[in-house]
Amino acid sequence: MYRTKTCGELRLSNANETVTLAGWVQIVRDMGHLIFIDLRDRYGMTQLSLNADSDAALYNMARSLGREYVIQVTGKVIERTSKNSEMATGDIEIFVENLTILNEAETPPFTIENKSDGGEELRMKYRYLDIRRPHLKDVLVTRATMIRAMREYLDSKNFIEVETPNLIKSTPEGARDFLVPSRMQNGSFYALPQSPQILKQLLMVAGMDRYYQVVKCYRDEDFRGDRQPEFTQLDCEMSFVNQEDVFENFEGMVKHVFKKTNGVELPDFIRLTFADAVKYYGSDKPDLRFDCKIVELNDSLPKSEFPVFNNAIAAGNLVAAINAKGCAAYSRKQLDELTEFVKASHRGLSGLVNIKFNEDGTVKSSVDKFYNEEQLKEIGKALGAEKGDLILIAAEKASKVRKSLGDLRLELAKRESWIKPGTWSVFWVVDFPLFEKDEETGETNFVHHPFCSPHPDDLQYFDSDPLRVRAQTYDMVMNGNEILSGSIRIHQRELQNRVFNKLGFSQEDIDHKFGFMLNAFRYGAPPHGGCAFGIDRWVMLMTGGETIRDSMAFPKASNGRDLMMDAPALVDPKQLTELGIAVVNKD
Ligand code: ASP
């Protein structure tokens, strides 16, 4: 037996026991006549001590140990004279009687501590060393706890886990597919699943009733923001359900996972319509841990000659504002920074009007020339402005104003620390539209995916005004992040065909891409619906990470490369020949 105890479990109550531990040397502190070693494993750290007087050979061996040596020690648990309350095992140490070096180690390229001196690239290259750091190790432990809690809950509700294949035909989830060339049929390709969407629907046709799977999904997207080419979903599907059934089940699961993972009891989730989310928060995944709603002013602005607002209203644009509570004392520079923020190209506003409700009771605005104090106060009233508040107003195309003010409220929350650490906001967003118009091409696209059922009340607009049709689609939002999306599906062949047609698929395309699915719908498809959670993002939120990279064992770097394995990589030309592939452009 390599060990009788782990490095995280010994307490004062174990004093006088003789134990054997195995692990990695964190640090050796040579005090001249006395040596202390911190020994680490997955479970924690334990201090070892050796005394030159009691065994000189052992003492010399201990002196030779380097960082990250793998050792095994046997010794007696003794009470420490100077205890360390920061360490779980800080009341005791092991007085070493026997030491075996199981493996030597070269000095690692960075220190294995939470505050490491290694840059991100270096740590990704040596990810196996990075995972030895307590924080990353804890993340993986939390991830496992969460997934165990998900399985526990779903098992208790009669779900069964079914695996679906990775080599399939393209499933449209709105991203580019990763392709795998076929050796046996040169020129043909498998696609890696963007999600098991169609397969789980077919499992419902197959009568499986309640399915889930912890599953890898693959999307070949550009590395905008926080994306990984492969990520993990908790994918679920249920038969004979409506939206309420899905909500009840998965709200219950999220509450269970929280309780099991961090002990937090979440309150019941509110529901926000997509339309209200966008109107009041400028986003379909608003962070509701703080207030700061967008207020539309088109109908309540006092009369004035101010051309910017007047022209915007005349052009059918939107004048709207937010109340930056307590920010009236912002300097010129700070206001300029906020203006630059909304002017950034992806937001595209041309500026912000401000009104300051100063602490001394005066009201000052960048449009003093056009509005008297009474009128400014009237605007302030619509936003609940009090002394100390700063009102920021934008007037442009509605979509730009909403996006910019939505982003601005998040930016202000960051600057002003409006979000209390440890607070949670989890809720449903409902009533998404079924289709949207691509602003550049004018094409009708799906909002979620093409299998979402239209809202029965809106089917009447399907041909006359398709953008008005709501879908039975929902998201779950957690602290401003979308962590689930799902829908009630179309289970009727004709309706599915109509949606494909509306999306501009030719009949030939439909037959080629989805023929097998439509065919399955001939043989008794039950009403069904489901959802998928983004596990990596949920873990990131539970563990205080900043990107989903922080919640995976072996993520890709931001350019899509695996820095540890050095992938993607060139392959043997023989392999390409077998696949019938010639590489044309190699840079
Ligand atoms: N397949 C969907 C997705 O990956 C989730 C769902 O609708 O169940 O977003």
12-103 topology per CATH: OB fold (Dihydrolipoamide Acetyltransferase, E2P) (2.40.50)
Q: In 3D, which of 408, 400, 263, 267 has the Cα closest to residue 324?
A: 408
> Helix, strand or coil for residue 268?
coil
Q: Using one digit for the tens of pLDDT, what is the confidence trace for 96-111?
A: 999 999 999 999 999 9
Q: Using one digit for the tens of pLDDT, what is the confidence trace for 380-437?
A: 999 999 999 999 999 999 999 999 999 999 999 999 999 999 999 999 999 999 999 9
User: Whole-angstrom Cα distance, residue 209 to residue 197?
Assistant: 15
* Ligand 1 atom at minimum distance from 171 CA: 1
pLDDT band, residue 226 (cuts 50/70/90): confident
Across all residues in the chain, what is the average pLDDT?
96
171 CA to middle of ligand 1, Å? 11
The separation between the first and the last C-alpha atoms of the chain, rounded to the nearest angstrom, is: 53
487 CA to middle of ligand 1, Å? 8
**How much is the average pLDDT of 371-377?**
95
Best mutation site among 234, 448, 533 for ligand 1 pocket (most ligand atoms within 8 Å of CB): 448
Closest residue by Cα to atom 4, ligand 1, is 195
290-418 topology per CATH: Gyrase A; domain 2 (3.30.1360)
> Helix, strand or coil for residue 552?
coil
425 lines ligand 1 (CB under 6 A): no
> Helix, strand or coil for residue 395?
strand
Q: DSSP alpha helices (H): ranges in 315-353? A: 332-343
Confirm if 399 and 274 have CB atoms less than 8 A apart: no
Indicate if the pLDDT at residue 586 is higher than 80: no
Q: Give 226 or 553, the one with higher predicted confidence.
A: 553
433 lines ligand 1 (CB under 6 A): no
530 lines ligand 1 (CB under 6 A): yes
Q: What is the pTM of this model?
A: 0.95
**How much is the average pLDDT of 21-50?**
97
Please list the helix, strand and coil fractions of the chain in percent, rounded to the nearest 5, in that order. 30, 25, 45
485 CA to middle of ligand 1, Å? 6
354 lines ligand 1 (CB under 6 A): no
pLDDT band, residue 209 (cuts 50/70/90): very high
Q: Using one digit for the tens of pLDDT, what is the confidence trace for 314-356?
A: 999 999 999 999 999 999 999 999 999 999 988 999 999 999 9
CB atoms within 10 A of CB 422: 8
CATH, domain range 158-272+427-537: 3.30.930.10
239 lines ligand 1 (CB under 6 A): no
Q: At what angle do helices 243-262 and 134-156 cross, to 10 degrees?
A: 140
- Listed by start position, the domains of the chain span 12-103, 158-272+427-537, 290-418
Q: Using one digit for the tens of pLDDT, what is the confidence trace for 235-294?
A: 999 999 999 999 999 999 999 999 999 999 999 999 999 999 999 999 999 999 999 999
Residue position matching structure tokens 């993990």: 232
pLDDT band, residue 438 (cuts 50/70/90): confident
pLDDT band, residue 115 (cuts 50/70/90): confident
49 lines ligand 1 (CB under 6 A): no
Strand order in the sheet with 160-161: 160-161, 210-218, 230-239, 528-534, 481-488, 473-478, 426-430, 271-273
Confirm if 93 and 134 have CB atoms less than 8 A apart: no
Indicate if the pLDDT at residue 117 is higher than 90: no
Indicate if the pLDDT at residue 172 is higher than 80: no
485 lines ligand 1 (CB under 6 A): yes
Q: What is the pLDDT of residue 587?
A: 64
* Ligand 1 atom at minimum distance from 489 CA: 7
* DSSP H or E stretch at residue 98: strand 92-103
Q: What is the pLDDT of residue 354?
A: 97
Q: Using one digit for the tens of pLDDT, what is the confidence trace for 453-478?
A: 999 999 999 999 999 999 999 999 99
**How much is the average pLDDT of 500-505?**
93
Q: What is the pLDDT of residue 575?
A: 97
Q: Using one digit for the tens of pLDDT, what is the confidence trace for 82-96?
A: 999 999 999 999 999
**How much is the average pLDDT of 173-180?**
91
472 lines ligand 1 (CB under 6 A): no
210 CA to middle of ligand 1, Å? 15
164 lines ligand 1 (CB under 6 A): no
* Ligand 1 atom at minimum distance from 233 CA: 4
276 lines ligand 1 (CB under 6 A): no
Confirm if 149 and 533 have CB atoms less than 8 A apart: no
Cα–Cα separations (whole angstroms), residue 144 to 136, 390, 529, 551: 13, 45, 27, 11
pLDDT band, residue 439 (cuts 50/70/90): confident
**How much is the average pLDDT of 149-160?**
98
Q: What is the pLDDT of residue 104?
A: 98
Q: Fill in the amino acid letter for 275.
A: A
195 lines ligand 1 (CB under 6 A): yes
**How much is the average pLDDT of 363-377?**
95
User: Whole-angstrom Cα distance, residue 5 to residue 19?
Assistant: 7
Best mutation site among 171, 235, 452 for ligand 1 pocket (most ligand atoms within 8 Å of CB): 235
Q: What is the pLDDT of residue 193?
A: 97
